Amino acid sequence: MKQTIFRDLTKSMLFVVLIVCLMTSCSKKEVNYYRLQGNVFGTTFQIQYADASENNYNQAITLLFDQMNNSLSTYHPNSLISQLNKDSSELMVDDNFIAVFKLSKKVYESTDGYFDPTVGKMVNAWGFGYQESSKILTNQEVDSLMQYVGFDKVVLDERTVVKKNPDVVFDFNAVAKGYGVDLVALFLEQKGVKDYLVEIGGEIRAKGKNKRNQFWSIGIEEPNFDGSRSLQKVVRLEHESIATSGNYRKYRIDSVTGEKIAHTFNPKRGIPAKTDLLSVSIISSLSCGEIDAYATAFMAMGYKKARKLADNHKEMKVYFIYLDQDEIKTDATPNLKFVETL
């Protein structure tokens, strides 16, 4: 499939551990299980769904992805977000932009600004955006760029986004994959699909059951620094989403100090987040886009603050992997249950 891209700010520490091709309905009629896969938003995707009517939605889903790119991709020079970032203090936007804007504002307010999609200028300056850079910013340079960061500097007036500061730069990469998952899931449900799994870059939403008449099983990865991949825990999704954010794969090295510079940003300080968290996985019946944003915010704020916030959101089941005096430790909210065996 031909797709333009966002660039992979990979948070895909997830494995889909039960891949099935067929399932049996209550009427014993054989139901085809379709599997679509490819590349989108700078990462990979896979979609599985059962459809007794033998509908192949590949073309329709490709159109959904194209519409998202045309709205939200900073790597698409003619997209709405690119126009707003480069040429406009205000711009009329489409439904996708409005939905992501409102979702982002909600999480921005709930996390006290630890999730903020106006960090685009800062992300580019540190070399993690659509503009390449290997520079290490000085404190003075960080301070000068912070004037362009803050979701309170932008307003949605009906269908028009207004930037109070014209140099504010949007970057929705931390929510785009989750939102894309939601778009596909909603499309399938509108078509009457009752059993599906949608995954983009490790962000997942699943509904119904698989061939074994079980809820979809998903594996959470060990934080292996050598690049290898292994499972640490397995969970089952019961009409839920799962999103994971982590810093141990996506980073660059300071050529002078040799220090790892992580891609997750602390928007309150304007620097890459230096926290004790290695990864955060959130499972919830909330939209995948919303928990995608929360996972990013948790990474930015660190284990103690994130754990406290998670306790206040009973609708989320959260699994933390963190460092405590150079020792890797794990913690989970009480409502999170793991699958012992597949």
Whether the pLDDT of residue 123 is over 90: the answer is no
Give the C-alpha separation, 270 to 149, whole Å: 8
Q: In this structure, is residue 342 part of a structural domain?
A: no
pLDDT in tens, 1-24: 444 434 443 444 444 443 333 333
Q: What is the pLDDT of residue 158?
A: 96
Cα→Cα distances 248→69, 203, 242, Å: 27, 17, 19
Task: Report if residue 339 sits inside a domain.
Answer: no
Q: How many domains does the chain have?
A: 1
In a domain, 5, yes or no: no
60-72 pLDDT per residue, tens: 999 999 999 999 9
Note whether residue 2 is domain-resident: no
> Is residue 168 over pLDDT 50?
yes
Q: Which tens digits make up the pLDDT trace of 251-304? A: 444 444 444 445 577 888 877 767 788 899 999 999 999 999 999 999 999 999
Domain contains 300: yes
Domain extent for 247: 14-332
* Residue 290 domain flag: yes
Query: In this model, does residue 140 exceed pLDDT 70?
Result: yes
CATH number at residue 217: 3.10.520.10
The model's confidence at residue 138, banded by pLDDT at 50, 70 and 90, is confident
Count of CB atoms within 10 A of residue 118's CB? 22
Which pLDDT belongs to residue 253?
42
Would you state the pLDDT for residue 239?
95
Higher pLDDT, 29 or 199: 199
Strand runs (DSSP E) across 105-246, as ranges? Answer: 154-157, 160-163, 196-200, 203-207, 216-221, 231-237, 240-246
Q: What pTM value is reported for the model?
A: 0.86
Which one has a higher pLDDT value, 33 or 316? 316
In a domain, 214, yes or no: yes
Is 213 part of any domain?
A: yes
Percent of the chain topping pLDDT 70: 81
